[in-house]
């Protein structure tokens, strides 16, 4: 897809400087861009590349206009957002499809499939499934009974939705993601594990994205809930009855144990671990590889982990660590000759 620079300025709300009739057909980096591309500057470390880029236009902040030798510019307070909007617009043609059902798909008689949906080869769709307009289901995907897929939701190849899963509109499920598998629920009987039936479902809001090989378990009794706008990276484990608030983003290889509630607008760095039955407030930002063992009631940035050790030693060390500031203050008083 192509667009004029004026059209892209309207899409992004950016200030146009230069020739609005310039045709843009792709997005590229400053160093690799050619004629017809629009490049972007989001990191000041690449500022010098503004002097040498061959892009037809550049997206940048007003602070860097003086460094830019390209005549055509989109100037905005948030160049990264403008880049995302433009890249999505120019790539939108790639996600378009012709409606229809592949003859190799296996679909239960009671399922409702919109005539504006696309079902690829070897898809299996169970009883009482509802698939709305604009839904795309990639090859080899499996949709269990009583599922509902909202308008314009897209499943890439080999996605699995177990029974009783509902999604909102415009969701994206990457290949290998599994929604609604059994939660890890077992009761001990003198050293023998007895499985606890997982009878809840999974409820997913609008505009949710779930990455490659990410697993979201069904609830044990009530549902696992993922609210609007949540973004889950690859290889994430979301256990049973977890509740993730709107517009929270979680990076890869994070594991969230059962019945933990995460607020809205949070960010969780990769390889983090969150134990079960915790409450995490809105607008909490957890650094990569952080281990969260207690509820967090105030917004802000949280960081920390320790190497494995015997639990009793770890508990004692944590007590001493919390006393460290007081110990340092008293030591300074002693060094200054005070009592």
193 contact partners, CB below 8 Å, separation of at least 6 = 186, 187
The answer to whether residues 294 and 171 belong to one domain is yes
Q: Which of 240, 243, 285, 311 is catalytic?
A: 240
The answer to whether residues 211 and 288 belong to one domain is yes
The answer to whether residues 239 and 156 belong to one domain is yes
CB-CB neighbours of 117 under 10 Å: 22
Entry pTM? 0.87
The answer to whether residues 114 and 46 belong to one domain is no
The answer to whether residues 140 and 262 belong to one domain is yes
The answer to whether residues 187 and 320 belong to one domain is no
The answer to whether residues 35 and 123 belong to one domain is no
Sole residue written with tokens 């300025």: 9
Identify which of 38, 34, 29, 30 has the alpha carbon closest to the alpha carbon of residue 2: 38
The answer to whether residues 107 and 228 belong to one domain is yes
pLDDT in tens, the chain (339 residues): 899 999 999 999 999 999 999 999 999 999 999 999 999 999 889 999 999 999 999 999 999 999 898 899 999 999 999 999 999 999 876 667 899 999 999 999 999 999 999 999 999 999 999 999 999 999 999 999 999 999 999 999 999 999 999 999 999 999 999 999 999 999 999 999 999 999 999 999 999 999 999 999 999 999 999 999 999 999 999 999 999 999 999 999 999 999 999 999 999 999 999 999 999 999 999 999 999 999 999 999 999 887 667 888 888 888 888 899 898 888 888 888 765
Out of 44, 78, 95, a domain closes at: 95
At 141, which CATH number? 2.160.10.10
Domain total in the chain: 3
Out of 95, 127, 144, a domain closes at: 95
Active site includes 240?
yes
The answer to whether residues 20 and 123 belong to one domain is no
Separation of alpha carbons 258 and 182, rounded Å: 12
Out of 43, 71, 95, a domain closes at: 95
The answer to whether residues 125 and 264 belong to one domain is yes
Six-digit token string for 171: 């969701």
The answer to whether residues 269 and 153 belong to one domain is yes
Domain that holds residue 167: 100-302
Bridge partners for 300 per DSSP: 284
The answer to whether residues 163 and 265 belong to one domain is yes
């Amino acid at each position: 897809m192509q667009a004029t620079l004026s059209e892209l300025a309207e899409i992004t709300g950016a200030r146009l400087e230069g020739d609005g009739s310039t045709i843009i057909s792709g997005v590229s980096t400053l160093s690799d861009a050619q004629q017809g591309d629009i490049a972007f500057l989001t990191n000041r470390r690449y500022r010098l590349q503004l002097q040498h880029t061959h892009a037809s236009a550049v997206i940048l902040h007003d602070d860097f206009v003086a460094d830019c030798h390209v005549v055509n510019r989109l100037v905005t307070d948030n160049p990264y957002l403008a880049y995302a909007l433009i890249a999505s617009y120019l790539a939108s043609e790639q996600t378009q499809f012709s409606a229809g059902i592949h003859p190799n798909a296996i679909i239960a008689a009671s399922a409702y499939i919109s005539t504006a949906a696309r079902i690829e080869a070897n898809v299996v769709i169970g009883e009482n499934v509802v698939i709305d307009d604009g839904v795309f289901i990639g090859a080899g995907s499996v949709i269990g009974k009583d599922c509902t897929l909202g308008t314009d939701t897209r499943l890439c190849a080999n996605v699995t939705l177990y029974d009783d899963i509902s999604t909102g509109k415009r969701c994206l499920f990457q290949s290998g993601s599994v929604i609604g598998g059994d939660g890890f629920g077992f009761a001990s009987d003198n050293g023998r594990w007895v499985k606890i039936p997982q009878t809840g479902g999974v409820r997913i809001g609008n505009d949710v994205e779930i990455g490659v090989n990410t697993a979201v378990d069904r609830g044990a009794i009530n549902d696992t809930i993922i609210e609007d706008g949540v973004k889950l990276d690859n290889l994430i484990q979301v256990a049973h009855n977890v509740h993730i608030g709107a517009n929270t983003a979680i990076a890869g290889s994070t594991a969230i144990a059962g019945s933990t509630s995460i607020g809205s607008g949070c960010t969780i760095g990769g390889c983090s671990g969150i134990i079960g039955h915790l409450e995490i407030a809105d607008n909490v930002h957890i650094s990569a590889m952080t281990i969260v063992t207690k509820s967090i009631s105030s917004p802000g940035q949280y960081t920390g982990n320790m190497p494995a050790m015997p639990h009793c030693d770890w508990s004692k060390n944590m007590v001493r660590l919390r006393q460290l500031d007081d110990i340092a203050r008293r030591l300074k008083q002693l060094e200054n000759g005070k009592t």
